[in-house]
């Protein structure tokens, strides 16, 4: 939708204020069913969108947990529908690590501070503001536009997008989805999420023989075995798997022929990773490897008892094309002779998902992003974590992670702030993102 500069100023200000309010609602999802309290933000958004003449549905998926859906009908029922989806929950904080109140939503030197400022209340707020502006204007587009503010993304979407897509597909039905995250300027490119890694979470049960802690000599201590298993998993290198998404990403990084060739060669990729700043290296490593992170260990009952049972939870993230059997094959290799000592329990198995780029949504994003950044190329990228996009991809929709960051925020900063301390976003990025949604809507059905 075409707007004047004055309108864009006003809409950016509305995005800013809504973002502050969403941060202050403190919808912290710690993974438990009772956390989140997304009701607060669902009600707030309901108030924001009231009076537009649309039906607004609020779906309860748990105590204090609700998600909001509203649809603005297009003129042509056969035209593809676009869903703007933002989650309303945020991850917990460690307040000691912050220089400001993580739930204050303060505006300081042109930046809004608070948990959710980049993940992803910035998008949830700008989408709501743009949606409201479009409906208020009365302008109709061929396809429907849906606004979906969803709970529980940060704990895997089980009580949010997953449940609602299973139960309410009639209400959520769409062809295209925009959600977190993308529009990050890196060198001469803008990264936009088109794919995400799969999860292959495993719990490894290790058994030993109980005994008295005062006589450890020659005992079969499950914790000691588990420690060696953890060490082997941490040291395991599954080797790089470099596909066409990876190649596009490397070309986009524009590192010059020598570094690029090394990044495209599984034999030398680690030489380059070692030279990168830590956050970027981590991300680059994860986009080219299946990863294994042993993150939880349970075991032992008493200081003077040799433990006979220990369990280790391993966060495994798979690349597109990898199966559940591949995960187990990796663990077998990583553990070597100790593989026989564990019983493997599958905690979660979901393959990686990806959306193609030869479609009108990608073209609209390319054109829209070229307005503020004519010199940058839009590059499809893989994200290492899961987002709610995957549930829509499983339903056959094309889903991208978008948004737009100003040059003030480097990719390194952005990645550090994601779930990190001192999360914040500059107002210029809010303005660019607000403009982006307006432009995409205008260009999508052209
Ligand atoms: Zn998020």
C-alpha to C-alpha distances, 11 to 22, 254, 271, 395, 407, nearest whole angstrom: 16, 35, 46, 33, 21
Domain boundary among the residues 289, 322, 350 is at 350
Indicate whether 183 and 277 sit together in one domain. Answer: no
DSSP 259-325: HHHHHT-TTTHHHHHTTS-HHHHHHHHHHHS-EEEEEEEEE---TTEE-SEEEEEEEEEEPTT--HH
Specify whether 28 is located in the same domain as 86: yes
Query: Does 61 have pLDDT greater than 90?
Result: yes
CA distance 361 to 82: 9
Residue finishing a domain among 303, 325, 350: 350
pLDDT at 170: 92
Q: Is the same domain home to 148 and 243?
A: no
What pLDDT score does 99 carry? 97
Handedness of CA 155, 160, 166, 170 (dihedral sign): negative
Does residue 20 sit in the same domain as residue 136? yes
Ligand 1 center from residue 120 Cα (angstroms): 5
Partnered with residue 182 across adjacent β-strands are: 192
Q: What percent of the chain stands above pLDDT 90? A: 89
**In a shared domain, residues 160 and 261:** no
Judgement on whether residues 109 and 242 belong to the same structural domain of the protein: no
- 346 and 228 within one domain: yes
Q: What is the pLDDT of residue 252?
A: 80
Let me know whether 183 and 113 are in one domain. Answer: yes
In this structure, the answer to whether residues 368 and 346 fall within a common structural domain is no
Report the CATH number at residue 237.
Answer: 3.30.70.360
Mean pLDDT of the chain: 95
Average pLDDT over residues 155-181: 95
pLDDT in tens, 69-103: 999 999 999 999 999 999 999 999 999 999 999 99
**How many Å lie between the centroid of ligand 1 and the Cα of residue 180?**
6
Cis peptide before 357 (omega within 30 of 0): no
Residue with tokens 């709610």: 388
Q: How confident is the model at residue 31 (pLDDT cuts 50, 70, 90)?
A: very high
Predicted confidence at residue 22, as pLDDT, reads 98
Reply yes or no on whether the pLDDT at 32 is more than 80: yes
Domain count, the chain: 2
Instruction: Indicate the length of the chain as a whole number.
Output: 446
Asked if 93 and 207 sit in the same domain, the reply is no
Q: 400 CA to middle of ligand 1, Å? A: 13
Domain final residue pick, 298, 327, 350: 350
Q: What is the CATH number of the domain that holds 114?
A: 3.40.630.10
Residue 275's pLDDT is what?
92
Q: What is the pTM of this model?
A: 0.87
Which residues form the domain of 206?
197-350
Top pLDDT among 186 and 232 is at 232
Residue 253 pLDDT > 80: no
Residue 158 CA, ligand 1 centroid: distance in Å: 14
Whole-number Å distance, alpha carbon 75 to ligand 1 midpoint, is: 32
Pair (208, 149) in one structural domain: no
Compute, in angstroms, the gap from residue 385 CA to the centroid of ligand 1: 9
Q: How far apart are CA 111 and CA 19, in angstroms?
A: 11
Tell how far the Cα of 87 is from the centroid of ligand 1, in angstroms: 7
Three-state secondary-structure class, residue 218: coil
Quick one: 255 and 135 in the same domain? no
DSSP assigned state of 161: I
Phi, psi (5° rounding) for residue 59? -105, 130
d(CA 407, ligand 1 centre) in Å: 21
Burial pattern 263-284, b for ≥16 Cβ within 10 A else e, equals bbeeeebeebbeebeebbbebb
Q: Quick one: pLDDT at residue 283?
A: 87
Q: Which of 7-21, 35-49, 81-95, 274-288 has the lowest mean pLDDT?
A: 274-288
């Amino acid at each position: 939708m075409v707007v004047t500069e004055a309108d864009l100023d006003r809409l950016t200000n509305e995005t800013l204020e809504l973002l502050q309010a969403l941060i202050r609602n403190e919808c912290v999802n710690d993974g438990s069913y009772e956390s989140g309290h997304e009701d607060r933000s669902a009600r707030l958004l309901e108030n924001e969108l009231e009076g537009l003449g649309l039906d607004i549905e609020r779906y309860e998926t748990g105590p204090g947990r609700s998600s909001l859906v509203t649809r603005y009908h297009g003129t042509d029922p056969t035209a593809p529908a676009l869903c703007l989806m933002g989650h309303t929950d945020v991850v917990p904080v460690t307040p000691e690590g912050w220089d400001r109140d993580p739930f204050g939503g303060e505006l300081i030197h042109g930046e809004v501070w608070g948990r959710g400022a980049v993940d992803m209340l910035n998008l949830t707020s700008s989408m709501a503001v743009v949606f409201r502006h479009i409906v208020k204007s009365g302008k109709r587009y061929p396809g429907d536009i849906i606004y979906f503010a969803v709970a529980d993304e940060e704990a895997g979407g089980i009580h949010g997008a997953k449940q609602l897509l299973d139960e309410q597909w009639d209400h959520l039905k769409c062809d295209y989805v925009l959600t977190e995250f993308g529009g990050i300027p890196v060198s001469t490119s803008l990264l936009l999420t088109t794919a995400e890694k799969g999860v292959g979470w495993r719990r490894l049960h290790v058994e030993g023989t109980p005994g008295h802690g005062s006589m450890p000599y020659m005992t079969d201590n499950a914790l000691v075995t588990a420690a060696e298993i953890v060490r082997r998993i941490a040291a395991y290198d599954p080797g790089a798997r470099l596909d066409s998404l990876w190649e596009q990403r490397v070309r986009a990084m524009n590192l010059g022929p020598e570094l690029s060739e090394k990044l495209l060669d599984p034999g030398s990729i680690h030489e380059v990773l070692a030279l990168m700043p830590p956050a970027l290296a981590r991300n680059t490593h994860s986009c080219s490897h299946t990863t294994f992170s042993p993150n939880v260990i349970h075991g032992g009952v008493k200081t003077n008892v040799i433990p006979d049972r220990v369990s280790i939870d391993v966060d495994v993230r798979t690349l597109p094309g990898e199966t559940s059997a591949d995960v187990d094959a990796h663990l077998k290799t990583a553990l070597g002779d100790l593989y026989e000592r564990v019983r493997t329990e599958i905690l979660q198995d979901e393959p990686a998902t990806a959306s193609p780029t030869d479609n009108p949504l990608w073209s609209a994003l390319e054109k829209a992003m070229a307005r503020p950044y004519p010199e940058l190329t839009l590059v499809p990228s893989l994200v290492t974590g899961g987002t709610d996009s995957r549930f829509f991809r499983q339903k056959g929709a094309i889903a991208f992670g978008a948004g737009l960051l100003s040059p003030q925020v480097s990719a390194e900063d952005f990645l550090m702030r994601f779930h990190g301390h001192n999360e914040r976003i500059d107002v210029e990025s809010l303005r660019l993102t607000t403009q982006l949604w307006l432009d995409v809507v205008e260009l999508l059905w052209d």
